C-alpha cells in the first residue's frame, strides 16, 4: 500500500482515472465498415453497429450528411440488434456519383445494401434519404419504413441555378450558404455562427460537393402516386418546429399525400437537424417506433 501511495502509485492511479474518464466521454459503439459495389463503376460503404448478421435497421442519410454524422443516433438505438448506416455515394469513403446518377440510382444502391443485409427489418431515412427509403419500399417488401421529414419535388428547385454556378467554380463556401439561406431559410446570423466553427464549417464544405447533383436528381422526375406500397408499416416523423412551415413542413405534408397508410409522429422541440441537435431523443423515438 505504501508503494501505491508514495512510490509512484499515485501516477498510475491518475493515469487509470484519466483513461476511464476519456473512455466514458469519447467511447463510441463498436462498428465495422463494409464496402459494397454498386452500378456505374461506383461503390458505397456502410457502418455496421452491433451484430452484423442480426435483424437490422438500415439508416439512409440525406444531403449535407454522411454516415459519420449519424453515429450518435446509431449509438442510442437498441430496438434492433444491428444498425446499418449507409454512406451514400458521393461521400468519402464511398464512390463517385457518376454521370448517370439519378434518384433511381439511389434506390438501386439501397437495394444492393438490402441484398447484403437480408435480415433487415426496418428502413429509416432522413430528408432526401427518407424519400429514397419510401421509393425502395415500392420495389420490394419491407416490414417497416420510418422517414424523418422526407422531401420530394419541388424542393429547393429555385436554388439550383445558384448551386450550379457555385459548383462550377468549386465555391463550396457559397454552396453551404445557399443550402442554409435559400433552401432551409436560416438567417444570416445563423450562417455566420456556423462559419465561426471552423471544424464544423469544413465538414459542411466537404458535404456540399454532391449537393447540386442530388437536388437536381430529386427534382428531375416526379415520384409515383403511391410510395411505400410494399411496406407493412410506415411511420413519418416531423420535428415540432417545422410543422406546417416551409420548406420542410410543407414538403412533409406533400409526401403524406402519397403514403396513405402512414402513421404520423412529432419530435418535440426539434427541427430538421435533430440528428445533430438531439440524437438521443431521436434514437429514443426510433426505439419506441420499432414494430413488434
Predicted local confidence at residue 25, as pLDDT: 39
pLDDT, tens only, 58-74 = 999 999 999 999 999 99
Q: Is the peptide bond before 268 cis (omega within 30 degrees of 0)?
A: no
Characterize the bridge pairing of strands 42-50 and 82-87. Answer: antiparallel
Q: Exposure pattern of 20-34 as b/e (b: 16+ CB <10 Å)?
A: eeeeeeeeeeebeee
Predicted local confidence at residue 80, as pLDDT: 96
pLDDT band, very low/low/confident/very high, at 35 (cuts 50, 70, 90): very high
pLDDT band, very low/low/confident/very high, at 15 (cuts 50, 70, 90): very low
Residue 153 has pLDDT above 60, yes or no: yes
Amino acid at each position: 500500500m505504501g508503494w501505491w501511495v508514495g512510490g509512484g502509485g499515485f501516477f498510475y492511479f491518475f493515469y487509470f482515472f484519466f483513461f476511464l474518464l476519456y473512455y466514458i466521454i469519447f467511447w463510441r459503439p463498436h462498428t465495422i465498415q463494409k464496402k459494397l459495389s454498386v452500378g456505374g463503376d461506383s461503390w458505397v460503404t456502410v457502418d455496421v453497429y452491433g451484430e452484423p448478421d442480426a435483424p437490422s435497421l438500415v439508416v439512409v442519410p440525406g444531403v449535407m450528411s454522411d454516415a459519420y454524422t449519424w453515429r450518435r443516433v446509431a449509438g442510442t438505438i437498441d430496438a434492433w440488434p444491428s444498425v446499418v448506416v449507409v454512406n451514400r455515394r458521393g461521400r468519402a469513403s464511398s464512390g463517385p456519383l457518376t454521370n448517370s446518377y439519378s434518384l433511381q440510382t439511389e434506390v438501386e444502391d439501397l437495394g444492393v445494401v438490402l441484398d447484403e443485409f437480408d435480415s433487415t427489418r426496418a428502413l429509416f431515412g432522413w430528408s432526401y434519404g427518407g424519400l429514397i427509403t419510401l421509393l425502395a419500399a415500392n420495389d420490394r417488401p419491407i416490414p417497416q419504413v420510418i422517414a424523418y421529414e422526407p422531401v420530394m419535388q419541388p424542393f429547393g428547385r429555385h436554388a439550383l441555378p445558384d448551386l450550379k454556378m457555385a459548383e462550377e467554380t468549386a465555391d463550396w463556401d457559397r454552396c453551404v450558404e445557399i443550402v442554409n439561406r435559400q433552401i432551409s431559410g436560416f438567417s444570416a446570423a445563423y450562417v455566420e455562427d456556423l462559419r465561426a466553427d471552423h471544424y464544423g464549417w469544413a465538414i459542411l464544405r466537404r458535404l456540399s460537393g454532391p449537393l447540386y447533383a442530388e437536388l437536381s436528381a430529386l427534382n428531375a422526375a416526379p415520384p409515383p402516386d403511391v410510395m411505400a406500397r410494399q411496406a407493412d408499416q410506415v411511420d413519418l416523423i416531423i420535428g415540432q418546429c417545422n410543422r406546417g412551415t416551409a420548406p420542410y413542413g410543407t414538403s412533409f405534408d406533400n409526401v403524406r399525400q402519397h403514403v396513405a397508410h402512414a402513421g404520423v409522429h412529432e419530435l418535440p422541440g426539434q427541427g430538421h437537424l435533430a440528428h445533430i441537435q438531439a440524437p438521443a431523443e431521436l434514437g429514443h423515438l426510433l426505439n419506441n417506433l420499432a414494430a413488434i
